Amino acid sequence: MSNDKRLKDRVAVITGGAQGIGFGVAERLAAEGAITILADVNTAVATEAAQRLAGQGYRAEALSVDIGDDSSVAELAKAVDRKHGRCEILINNAAIGADTHIATMKIEDYHRIIRINQDGAVRMAMAFVPLIRKAGEGRRIVNVASIQGLRGWPNQLAYATAKGAIVNFTRALACDLAPDNIMVNAIAPGFVDTPMSILPDGSHEYDSDWFRDIYVKYGRIPLRRFGNPADMAGPIFFLCSDDARYVTGQILSVDGGASATF
């Protein structure tokens, strides 16, 4: 890992930063010198995660947010503004998962996933763009989409719909913010080892026979393994770095090659 601290003193807000991809990203950005704000609905877990980063000598803090609630997002933006007066980097990562099939789905379940997974990123952007405009170099927004937002997927109607919206939200927002020299991009993860991959019975999705047969044995994922948060953090760091100063409106699949076999 670089010792140059390429994100030195840049304020980075990561939603869903307490665990999974969010924590992996927070750790990487902090190691690169960023002041990382782990924004999460689970304040206790976020606080413990921020303390772990601080124990490594990184600058990290935890703040509470429910990205599905307008007032909660507004309070988060005010808190960051009061303490830092700016925000260089916004990572829209927080999301929830749930199986939804058109034959059995309740409309309230659909709306809940859209409210958090889709509208949450819009709320965060609306609240934080003024803070990002106040920042200096390296102004970035990175959204976490999914390969489910690029392809059809059974039993994931609401989740896939929301992530598909994030894909085009990223492109449209990039066009809006290009005159301000704010880069907006997204990654589309494939299968990643996070708490969301734990099934209701407590087993791991990637330990199942169907996953190992189709995606590992027969190479539906060419790299023949699921990803981990660090695999996502590297590409996100690139998109936040000065090397990505001419990259905007792009969706980078980070899936071990899975989308190449569809």
Q: What secondary structure does DSSP assign to 144-175, as a single string?
A: E--GGGTS--TTBHHHHHHHHHHHHHHHHHHH
In the predicted model, is pLDDT for residue 78 greater than 60? yes
pTM: 0.94
Span 104-147, pLDDT tens digits? 999 999 999 999 999 999 999 999 999 999 999 999 999 999 99
Provide the CATH number for the domain formed by 11-193+228-260 in this structure. 3.40.50.720
Residue 202 — pLDDT band, cuts 50, 70, 90? confident
Give the side-chain half-sphere CA count within 13 A for 1. 14
Enumerate the domain spans of the chain. 11-193+228-260
Cα distances (Å, whole numbers) of residue 242 to 34, 134, 138, 234: 13, 18, 6, 14
Which of the residues 110, 159, 215, 246 is marked catalytic?
Answer: 159
Strands 60-64, 35-40: pairing kind: parallel
Is 159 noted as a catalytic residue in this protein? yes
- CB 88 within 8 Å of CB 139: yes
- CB 114 within 8 Å of CB 63: no
Span 174-188, pLDDT tens digits? 999 999 999 999 999
Q: Which tokens is 150 given?
A: 């690029």
Cα distances (Å, whole numbers) of residue 3 to 9, 185, 251: 14, 25, 28
- CB 100 within 8 Å of CB 109: yes
